[in-house]
Amino acid sequence: MADIDAWVWWLIAAAALGIPLVLTAMPEFGMLSLGAVAGAVTAGLGGGVVLQVVVFAVVSCALIAVVRPVAARHRSQRPELASGVDALKGRQAVVVERVDGSGGGRIKLGGEIWSARALDGDAAFEPGRQVDVVDIEGATAIVM
């Protein structure tokens, strides 16, 4: 075992840390794996054991400190591309049948005819007028 260079052991450690990354999808293992690769590079360049361990620790901790908060922030954000009903909110539609607060009207939204009612119960919109879709409740668009 003494015949194997230190950089090979670091690469084995990097591969061993990569396995739980794949199995658990925890990015921290990938960052530790990259730290082990940095330790392998240090060993390959002739750095001593203490320097190798320090490089591993510094690179791993730096990656965890920088990458993890960025990944958490991206994970908590809503997707930029809205789909389904969410994609219809905020769009403009054309009134086809008179729309008022009672909910008996119709609009053309996204190429389809939708039932609609006015957000303000006292408001009324006549056919041909453009309205903004504020919300969707079931199959009814709420407009203003």
Sort 60 into a burial class: Cβ within 10 Å, 0-12 / 13-18 / 19+. buried
The pLDDT, as a whole number, for residue 3 is 64
The pLDDT, as a whole number, for residue 2 is 54
What are the two backbone dihedrals, phi and then psi, of residue 32, each rounded to the nearest 5 degrees? -65, -35
The pLDDT, as a whole number, for residue 123 is 87
Distance CA 17, CA 3 (A): 23
Total-model pTM = 0.52
**What average pLDDT does this structure show over 104-129?**
90
Q: What is the pLDDT of residues 21-67, one digit of tens each?
A: 888 878 889 999 999 999 999 999 999 999 999 999 999 999 999 98
Distance CA 127, CA 118 (A): 13
Above 70 in pLDDT, residue 114? yes
Q: What is the sign of the dihedral through the CA atoms of 6, 11, 17 and 20?
A: negative
The answer to whether 56 and 39 are in contact (CB under 8 A) is yes
Above 80 in pLDDT, residue 78? no
**What average pLDDT does this structure show over 61-74?**
88
Long-range Cβ pairs for the range 5-8 (8 Å, 24+): 5/43, 5/44, 6/43, 6/49, 6/52, 7/40, 7/41, 7/43, 7/44, 8/40
Tokens of 48: 């001593």
> What is the overall mean pLDDT for the chain?
88
What are the two backbone dihedrals, phi and then psi, of residue 81, each rounded to the nearest 5 degrees? -95, 105
